[in-house]
Amino acid sequence: MYPCHGGRCHDREGEYECKCNFGRRGDGKSHKGCELVVSTTAAAVIGTIGVIALLAVLLIFLHMENEKRKLRDCFNKNGGQLLKSLKVEIFTKEKLDHITNNYRCIIGQGAFGKVYKGATGARDNVRVAVKCSIPINEDWKKESFANEITIQSNISHRNLVQLLGCCLETEVPMLVYEYVPRGSLHDVLHGDNKEPLPLETRLDIAIYSAVALVYMHSEASQTSIILHGDVKSGNILLDDGFTPKVSDFGTSRLMSIDKDHTNWVVGDSSYIDPVYMKTGLLTEKSDVYSFGIVLLELVTRKKARYDGNHSLPLDYVKASMGGAVREMFDPEVASHGKQNEECLEEVGNIAVQCLKEDVNDRPTMNEVAEKLKICKCRWLEYDRKTNEICT
């Protein structure tokens, strides 16, 4: 009788049986006993594969933990704990990847970075614009991002682009804005697919853009003035009804009301106040200067720099001194009668006041807005015999 090799012995009446252990087969009572189902070599291979699989799982786990740590580090480095207290939603990178469909639809790009179109996919399916900035340097990045978040989280106006949230889990934080479908005023005026723009629409764009800057300068805060620092047609967005919304607060500054100026800004050289260029001092009158150029774009439909290297503000001021401004008007609206020409000339005169070399001779944004409203009112009196009272 052979012992029960590689199995378990079970008593039976008058005999016993030998059941092989797991992984073995055969008859334990025979001289061969229970034999391994696989060879030693195969077992070694299976064992090796098992070890490799375990190592792979461990490496994947460590990689995922490392990625999570990077996200946490970026979140904290970008002021996540501080920004939690502000009135903005903090998006995860994973959620933004989904919202933008992995950043497939670019709706704007330039030296500042790129802007992607997205949709929340929620029940209301809100369309959004995700701004991914390219910092000039590390300090500028942190300063610019902090400015934009701090300022926009504390202001609300129908003519300012609304900040919906931000993502802090990337090296360069991303900002999520409401989507403004028509793009920028610059695109509408000067783009390849520019469309007719009636005088009344131009006046409304001018008025409500000015109103937005008035809000920033004097109404958004009781203790601070908000300087935009980069007013230009490219930073005035238009919705489907051509309602303007001032955007891009990356260069904006919160300035205490008892201070006269600040010496920090990065803006578009075609629009920057020459007084700031000389002195390094930025004031609310610097925004007034830049807005004056936007008014000239609306009047002439010419770029701030046009026909090579012509300067629109310099050429228009020169033309106004020589009584030849009407030659610079956009014929699309100027050709519709004397009333249109007179209105364009009045807007042009407001722009020239904004461009005065002495900042003390420039109007405030509130004065600009009121002058534009009166200008529109007078034009409506001519055009429609409106009952509005112009003062």
Q: Is 131 among the annotated ligand-binding positions?
A: yes
Q: Cα(251)–Cα(266) distance, rounded to whole angstroms?
A: 6
CA distance 227 to 267: 12
What is the b/e burial string over 12-43, where b = at least 16 CB atoms within 10 angstroms of the residue's CB? eeeeeebebeeebebbbbeeebbbeeeeeeee
Flag whether 248 is marked binding.
Answer: yes
95 is in an annotated binding site: no
Residue with tokens 């002439």: 300
Label the pairing between strands 224-227 and 236-238. unpaired
Q: Is 174 exposed, middle or buried (0-12, 13-18, 19+ CB in 10 A)?
A: buried
Catalytic residue among 27, 230, 273, 330: 230
Active site residue 230: yes
| Measured CA distances, 79 to 139, 232, 255 (Å) | 14, 29, 21
Helices (H), 114-237: 138-152, 185-190, 199-214
Give residue for tokens 């001021």: 317
Q: What is the separation, in whole angstroms, between the first and last Cα of the chain?
A: 124
Catalytic residues: 230
Annotated binding site for ATP: 131
Annotated binding site for Mg(2+): 235, 248
